[in-house]
Amino acid sequence: MAVDVRTHEILAERVERTDNPDDQLYLLKLCLELQLEALLLALGSSAVADPSPLGEHAPEQDDLPWPRWLAEDIELARALTRECVDDGVPLPSAMGGVPTDPGAGTESLTVRYSAMAAVVHEMLGQIDPIRRPGVVKRLVQTRDRCERRLAELLGRPMSAALEAGIRDRDAGHYLG
């Protein structure tokens, strides 16, 4: 927590010291980067605090409002991203070069969902469903979600989406 307090102090000092619009835009990008990190930390912490897919957890665990925090963090990250795009601020590299053209974003998402579906398909062929039923169940859910997203993105079934996207052997390249 001391690191977070110090980061806040540094940001407050920088905001007070600068009237330069470029510095202020840099601070906007920095806020977005910190928000993305906070979102990922909240996501990871929520998975550890609530490991059951049904939301059941041990009574001794802290009952922090993970679902609300995640929803709020996603909305804030989205708003900060919009501000960066509107002001011409380069987006953080962790966002994978989100294009300002929605069509290009759709293409990038199609490639990633196709890659994920291909990797999951390969994994399902290698995992013993008797010994690892929970993993198989989660992989089937992941595959089904990828197929639904691809159908929404492309308006066609998964097999056509994979043909239009990538081949199984190339899938890992896009998930790096």
Q: State pLDDT tens for residues 32-55.
A: 899 999 999 988 888 888 666 555
Average pLDDT (77-98) is 83
Whole domain around residue 74: which residue ranges? 2-53+63-91
107 and 44 fall within a common domain: no
40 and 77 fall within a common domain: yes
70 and 133 fall within a common domain: no
Is residue 125 very low, low, confident or very high in pLDDT (cuts 50, 70, 90)? Answer: very high
131 and 162 fall within a common domain: yes
- The label of the residue with tokens 């290009």 reads 104
Question: What is the token pair recorded at 63?
Answer: 């009952």
37 and 79 fall within a common domain: yes
User: Is position 58 within any domain?
Assistant: no
Helix/strand/coil for 49: helix
28 and 77 fall within a common domain: yes
The closest of 97, 65, 91, 64 to 77, measured between CA atoms, is 91
Average pLDDT (141-153) is 93
Instruction: Give 12 or 128, the one with higher predicted confidence.
Output: 128
Question: What is the token pair recorded at 39?
Answer: 């979102």
118 and 146 fall within a common domain: yes
User: Is position 135 within any domain?
Assistant: yes
Instruction: Report the C-alpha gap between 7 and 107 in whole angstroms.
Output: 36
82 and 127 fall within a common domain: no
User: Is position 143 within any domain?
Assistant: yes
86 and 108 fall within a common domain: no
* Number of domains forming the structure of the chain: 2
Q: Which has the minimum average pLDDT: 22-26, 37-41, 140-144, 161-165?
A: 161-165
34 and 80 fall within a common domain: yes
- The label of the residue with tokens 């089937």 reads 140
87 and 14 fall within a common domain: yes
User: Is position 96 within any domain?
Assistant: no
How far CA 57 is from CA of 60, 64, 119, 139, in Å, comes to 8, 12, 30, 22
Instruction: Report the C-alpha gap between 70 and 65 in whole angstroms.
Output: 9
Average pLDDT, rounded, for the chain: 76
User: Is position 115 within any domain?
Assistant: yes
